[in-house]
């Protein structure tokens, strides 16, 4: 697992949805980045993680906080294909950019998920304005605590 | 649309899950049949229809009330394949039998959905002990009203 | 506790709200009677019991099903006075008739509550069209099961 | 209404619950103060405001954030007496200090409520570490936004 305060590694994505061009983590420097790692057939992602990510997107200005979905498929690969994801994002009205985590050559866990040491889905990562991983929430995190963490990162100097 | 009191047509199913053998509507004569027509990527099915069908299965004895899921895919066909449905049923812990509605040769709406004149998903159908379609709920129906309708059908004579 | 199939005893009420005249159980013969026994400062009554009673009132025709609230104060008597109850009913938009259970001369438990052997609040009682107590739910009962029980009682002959 | 950045006036309280001694606003200098103004028979306070205040109390350390309830009775005075409030706080497991806003000599609106220009209940006030009123939420405020506001005030210098 990536330790807090370490520079967060760049994500590895094979395809993007809801964005005209690929997005790099580096390009978001200066903004707090909220990464929602999910699988479209994960019930906790559908009922909790993704709605929370949508609330974050509504609650904070886009120029200060970027919300990025990461489709980290580590099971049922044949079911959660990009074409299925596209239908899912449409039906669930997910409007923020979503990248498909790149499959690994040698196992079910995709590359970004592996590099970040994610334990499962949903996982919410908070990356600060300088590009460092600061919080890693596996499972559920409450809105009050999350709002506080985001605000604290927003208040930090960029460099 | 099939009128109430008319004999409900047999469903046309290409594949079954959660049952060792195919199930015909005719074989359920004598029981009240609750058909939950859904699509796995329909948000209202996931948040309302399917949980309600699971509650029905818990609340009534299986020898009196049969709960049957029908996967009536009329959009995003490439996403909602049987292999995807299988993963979905596993992740959402759906335990009642689910049949895949047979695709039509000449349009996106599958055969059983067309014969029954369903307008969309979720739709809940109630078939009485004599095999007649008695209630057709498109969208949401409240538990109190549904419980009452099921009980009234349970109380009717079979023949 | 009153046994099922026994005639339900008449309630003893000191004051009524939401009705122009006192209501006796005897006067409701021919209708299914749903009695919601509650205390205005009981959290489970506020979050579950009373909203459910309001849904019952909406879901079934008044000529077939009567919904009656019974304020069975057995603790905090000095807080849950009739004047406080009146404000509560107004603020929570409770529209069905509510009677105040008559205090006992020799203990905190009011008379109707004692005669019926209620264990606490919320308690929902179902009385059939012939005036017999048929179901006694202490705590929570699910809408599906409740709807079914009401419908079964509605379907029975009156005499 | 008190303007943001102005020093928040001292509250006027006739009686306290859940604290061994009266609490003044002045004594909380150095902490962020969350004031939940409520009435015990206000449905929005019971379903939203008070549970949110309890979540705030859980989510933030007491030495940094003080949560104070203020019972601002402006209607149904005869129902929402201190003795009724005491029962309410017990039944709803409200553990933070609650003060009873002092009645006015010449009208239904109590003194602190009037001085702060509150429009109704629930109202949540945020007072910064220097004792200045910074946010005034009448009705509902989302947890994400509230968490962020509290965190920002926590991050400010005291003097």
* Residue A158 Cα, gap to closest chain B Cα (Å): 39
Sort out which chain C residues have CB atoms less than 8 A from D75's CB and list them. Answer: 87
Name the band, by pLDDT with cuts 50, 70 and 90, for residue D157. Answer: confident
Query: Tokens representing A63?
Result: 């120029």
In-domain check, residue A26: no
Strand B98-101 versus strand C65-71 pairing type = unpaired
Rounded to the nearest 10°, the torsion over CA A47, A29, D141, D156 is 140
* Residue B152 Cα, gap to closest chain C Cα (Å): 6
Tell me the residue range of the domain where C44 lies. Answer: 13-18+32-123+133-154
Interface of D with A (CB under 8 A): 55-56, 59-60, 142-152, 154-155
Neighbours of C157 (CB within 10 A): 6
Residue count (chain D): 159
- Neighbouring chains of C at 3+ CB pairs under 8 Å are B, D
Name the band, by pLDDT with cuts 50, 70 and 90, for residue C159. Answer: low
Name the band, by pLDDT with cuts 50, 70 and 90, for residue A41. Answer: very high
Look up residue B47 and give its DSSP letter: I
First and final C-alpha spacing in chain D:
25
User: Residues D97-126: pLDDT tens digits?
Assistant: 999 999 999 999 999 999 999 999 999 999
Q: Is the pLDDT of residue A14 over 70?
A: yes
| Distance from C-alpha of A56 to C-alpha of A32, rounded to nearest angstrom | 11
Interface of B with A (CB under 8 A): 41-43, 46-47, 75-76, 78-81, 83-84, 86-88, 90-92
- The reported pLDDT for the residue numbered D154 is 97
Query: Tokens representing C130?
Result: 């012939």
Cβ contact, residue pair A79, B81, below 8 Å: yes
- The reported pLDDT for the residue numbered B93 is 98
CA angle B69, B70, B74 (to 5 degrees): 145
In-domain check, residue C27: no
Q: Is the pLDDT of residue A158 over 90?
A: no
- The reported pLDDT for the residue numbered B5 is 65
Let me know: does C74 contact C113? Beta carbons within 8 Å.
yes
In-domain check, residue A27: no
In-domain check, residue C97: yes
In-domain check, residue A4: no
What are phi and psi for residue C130, nearest 5 degrees? Answer: -100, 5
Q: Where are the alpha helices (DSSP H) in C1-49?
A: 43-44
| Distance from C-alpha of A22 to C-alpha of B85, rounded to nearest angstrom | 30
Nearest to D84 among C42, C43, C79 (CB): C79
Please name the residue of chain C whose CA is at the shortest distance from the CA of residue D88. C41
Q: pTM surpassing 0.90?
A: yes
What is the three-class DSSP state of B27? Answer: helix
Please name the residue of chain A whose CA is at the shortest distance from the CA of residue B87. A76
Neighbours of D10 (CB within 10 A): 12
Number of structural domains in chain B: 1
pLDDT string in tens for chain B (159-residue length): 555 567 899 999 999 999 999 999 999 999 999 999 999 999 999 999 999 999 999 999 999 999 999 999 999 999 999 999 999 999 999 999 999 999 999 999 999 999 999 999 999 999 999 999 999 999 999 999 999 999 999 999 876
What does each C-alpha distance from B122 to A64, A126, B74, B159, C80 come to in angstroms? 39, 36, 12, 30, 44
* Residue C145 Cα, gap to closest chain B Cα (Å): 6
In-domain check, residue C7: no
Let me know: does D49 contact D38? Beta carbons within 8 Å.
yes
Element (H or E) spanning C44, and its range?
Answer: helix C43-44
Tell the residue number behind the tokens 């806003």, with chain if given.
Answer: D101
Nearest to B59 among C60, C144, C151 (CB): C144
Q: Is the dihedral of CA D56, D60, D62, D65 positive or negative?
A: negative
| CB proximity list for A75: less than 8 A, separation 6 or greater | A39, A108, B87
Let me know: does A1 contact A116? Beta carbons within 8 Å.
yes
Neighbours of A7 (CB within 10 A): 12
Nearest to A155 among D56, D144, D152 (CB): D152
Mean pLDDT of A109-129: 98
Mean pLDDT of A134-149: 97
- The reported pLDDT for the residue numbered B3 is 53
Cβ contact, residue pair A79, B78, below 8 Å: no
In-domain check, residue B2: no
Query: Tokens representing B43?
Result: 């948000």
Residue C149's CATH number: 3.40.30.10
- The reported pLDDT for the residue numbered D158 is 76
User: Residues C99-142: pLDDT tens digits?
Assistant: 999 999 999 999 999 999 999 999 999 999 999 999 999 999 99
Q: Quote the percentage of chain D above a pLDDT of 70.
A: 96
User: Residues D37-84: pLDDT tens digits?
Assistant: 999 999 999 999 999 999 999 999 999 999 999 999 999 999 999 999
In-domain check, residue D2: no
- Neighbouring chains of A at 3+ CB pairs under 8 Å are B, D
User: Residues C16-33: pLDDT tens digits?
Assistant: 999 999 999 999 999 999
């Amino acid at each position: 697992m990536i330790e807090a305060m370490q520079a967060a590694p760049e994500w590895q994505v094979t395809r993007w949805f809801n964005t005209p061009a690929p997005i790099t983590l580096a390009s978001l420097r200066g903004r707090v980045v909220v990464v929602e790692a999910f699988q479209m057939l994960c019930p906790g992602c559908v009922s909790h993680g993704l709605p929370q990510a949508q609330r974050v997107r509504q609650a904070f200005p886009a120029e200060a906080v970027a919300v990025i979905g990461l489709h980290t498929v580590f099971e049922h690969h044949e079911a959660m294909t990009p074409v299925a994801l596209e239908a899912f994002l449409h039906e669930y009205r997910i409007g923020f950019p979503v990248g498909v985590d790149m499959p690994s050559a040698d196992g079910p866990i995709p590359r970004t998920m592996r590099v970040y040491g994610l334990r499962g889905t949903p996982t919410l990562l908070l990356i600060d304005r300088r590009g460092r991983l600061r919080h890693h929430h596996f499972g559920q995190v409450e809105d009050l605590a999350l709002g506080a963490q985001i605000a604290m990162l927003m208040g930090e100097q960029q460099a």
